[in-house]
Amino acid sequence: MKRMLTILLTVLMGLFLFACEEEGDEIDLVGIWRVLSESYVETYTYEGETDTDTESYTYDSILEAWLLEVTDTQMKMWENLVCVAGGDVETLGSYTVDGSTITLEDGDGETYTITFTIDGDRLTIEESETYTEEGTTFTEESTTIFERWTGTTPPTEWQNTPDADDYEDDDIENDATALTFPTTGQAHTISSSEDVDWYTFGAAENTTYHIYTTGNLDTKLRLYDSDGYMIDSNDDYYDLNAYIEFECYTTGIYTFIVEPFDTDYDCGSYTINLAQSGPSLTKKTLNWAPRSMSSCSEKEAATK
């Protein structure tokens, strides 16, 4: 009898510890998690032949990372928008947990099944999907690793946007910065999601002008004649920078605008150039042919 009671107590204690462990797992999932790395593997199988693509990302800086907020019922994503102080938060959806499986339902009613493990302050989320299109079988797998975030939400580092440059306000054509020809390496800043930079210059007939940006900012250029017609535009002519080669046939005043490619993320410094020759950097390989010259008399927007 005494032996049976001992066995029964042992079993009950084991069940109690198991229940606490299961409950602890759910409690541990709740909180703020900072992404450390993401990896993706996509496998294609067609007529017995298989090919695989892999991508991986490491987020060493909190400025590059994003945060996963897990409440008792919802998951949210905090993202650093370089051009917006404090970043942005998006509700991913509501979720339920069954063991190590999370079922997430977004606002459109779509459901996603992912698995997770927690090891101390590390959270690993894995997702896998297989589907077939036009005879090709695709398998997509992703692994995202987080660590528990103990800082402020949003992070303090996300509160700062670049300082405005000395040429503000140049966000409208009437306040455009006047450039003399040639001008090279003049430093400017896109400082917010609403910031654009206008420029004006005098052009002489039978003269070629090279307008381009340099730096690590993803920029776009649009060139207008004196009547306000866009006569050329460009994005990513080399690296992230924009470039227009402009041959003028009519003397007059012309304007152009520098815009960020993405108003949420592309804030920072660049230099503007109105030069006698084009950029010295190697032009990247493109699948389109940018226009090499623009006529002052054209009344249409250039396309890629």
Tens digits of per-residue pLDDT, 17-49?
Answer: 444 444 444 448 999 999 999 999 999 999 889
Residue 260 has pLDDT above 70, yes or no: yes
Q: Kindly report the length of the chain.
A: 304
Model confidence over 132-169: pLDDT tens digits? Answer: 999 999 999 999 999 999 999 999 999 888 899 999 99
State mean pLDDT over 245-265.
Answer: 94
Rounded to whole angstroms, what are the CA distances from 25 to 36, 73, 142, 191, 271? Answer: 21, 15, 22, 43, 52
For residue 160, what pLDDT is reported? Answer: 86
For the chain, first and last CA: distance in Å? 87
The strand pairing partners of 214, in sequence order, are: 271
132 CB-contact burial (10 Å; exposed 0-12 / middle 13-18 / buried 19+): exposed
- CATH hierarchy code of domain 173-275: 2.60.120.380
Residues of the chain with CATH 2.40.128.280: 29-159
* pTM for this entry: 0.67
Average pLDDT over residues 218-225: 96
- pLDDT tens string 168-204: 999 999 999 999 999 999 999 999 888 999 999 999 9
pLDDT the model gives residue 232: 96
CATH class held by domain 29-159: mainly beta
pLDDT band with cut points at 50, 70 and 90 for residue 281: low
**Mean of all residue pLDDT scores within the chain:** 85
Rg of the chain, C-alpha, whole Å:
28
DSSP output for 81-123: -TTSTT-EEEEEEEEEEETTEEEEE-TTS-EEEEEEEEETTEE
Q: What is the pLDDT of residues 104-138, one digit of tens each?
A: 999 999 999 999 999 999 999 999 999 999 999 99
Look at residue 292 and tell me whether its pLDDT is greater than 50: no
Q: Is the pLDDT of residue 224 over 70?
A: yes
**The most confident of 39-43, 262-266, 277-281, by mean pLDDT:** 39-43
What pLDDT does 272 receive?
97
Q: Where in the chain are all domains bearing CATH 2.60.120.380? A: 173-275
Residue 303 confidence (pLDDT) = 33
Q: What is the pLDDT of residue 264?
A: 86
